A and B are shown apart, each in its own frame.
Chain A
Amino acid sequence: MLATGTHQMLDLLQRSCEEVFPMALGHAPIAEGDPVGAMEGDTRAALITLVGEFGRVQLGLATSERGSREIAGHLLGMEADDPELVPDNIEDAIGELMNILAGHVKQLDASLLQAAELGLPLVVEGHIKPTPHQELLAQPARIDNTDLHLVVLVEKRPA
């Protein structure tokens, strides 16, 4: 049975963050409240798609412009205001972090490991909204002083 339900995927993404963040960023994520079914306002987000016979699932990490700079700084071992953290490097870093998280999601679930292909990470800015054929679930969280959301967008299954 593939673990591709919205809550199951969010749980896997949270577990991936809990294991990857301390190693990659030097800080553990802290969940802030309950998952939400919609995102408010604009964000900068790294998204990656898992695709297989089960359909398509998008996993994401959404934060502010400042938050993406802080996360990139943690990943690259730099201060958030380091002049080398130009926009291209920040996008590259949070995209790579999403790639690592999604790869680890596959490692955490044997059925996904076999059935899911990983796409390339994409960094977008704006309001994350599901299409009419998707369901969104997002977990508000914090890492160090940075607020972020762990996001999953799952294709709805026909009734």
Chain B
Amino acid sequence: MKILIVDDSKAMRMIVKRTLRQAGFGDASVSEAADGKQGLEAIRANQPDLVLCDWNMPEMSGMELLQALRAEGNAVHFGFVTSEGTAEMRSLASQASAAFLIAKPFTPETFAEALSGVVG
């Protein structure tokens, strides 16, 4: 399985990678992108099975990335990993066809539960 992490924080990308391993996804091939624009290029080039994406990023936000993907007919599994998880954000994410929204701080169990419903 190929997973792409899109986050402008290198620290958070490292934490998400570690949490994926702890959640039982240690066999996945994990790649990274530092903003939505880089993420879009990486998705087009590498066709991951799942995208884990921050909400607020420079260049292109997570929501803009998701909308761009769906506009070009790309149905890749997509989940947000973000520092806020308001009801409004969850609703926006769901309407835009995100599979889940994980609010920080998170645990490996949170990841396992959210991802198992999508790529389990």
Contact = CB atoms under 8 A, between A and B. Distances in A.
A complexed with B? yes
B11 A96 contact: yes
A103 B82 CA distance: 9
B104 A76 contact: no
B118 interface: no
B64 to A, nearest CB: 17
A104 B106 CA distance: 11
Contact of A20 (B11, B12, B14, B105): B105
B46 interface: no
A75 to B, nearest CB: 7
Contacts of B9: 92, 95-96
Interface of A is mostly: helix
Q: How large is the interface on B (under 10, 10 to 19, 20 to 34, 35 or more residues)?
A: 10 to 19
A69 interface: no
Given A95-B9, A103-B83, A107-B85, A76 B14 contact: yes
Given A106-B84, A107-B85, A118-B83, A100 B11 contact: no
A104 B14 contact: no
A118 B84 contact: yes
B84 A93 contact: no
Interface string B9-42: 1111011001000000000000000000000000
A19 B18 CA distance: 20
Nearest to B82: A103
A103 B101 CA distance: 14
B103 interface: yes
A23 B84 contact: no
20 contacts: A19-B105, A20-B105, A23-B107, A75-B15, A76-B18, A77-B15, A77-B18, A89-B10, A92-B9, A92-B10, A92-B11, A95-B9, A95-B11, A96-B12, A96-B15, A99-B83, A104-B105, A107-B84, A107-B103, A120-B56
Interface of A: 19-20, 23-24, 72, 75-77, 88-89, 92-93, 95-96, 99-100, 102-104, 106-107, 113, 118, 120
Given A77-B18, A103-B104, A113-B86, 8 more contacts: A19-B105, A76-B11, A76-B14, A76-B18, A103-B83, A103-B85, A103-B103, A107-B84
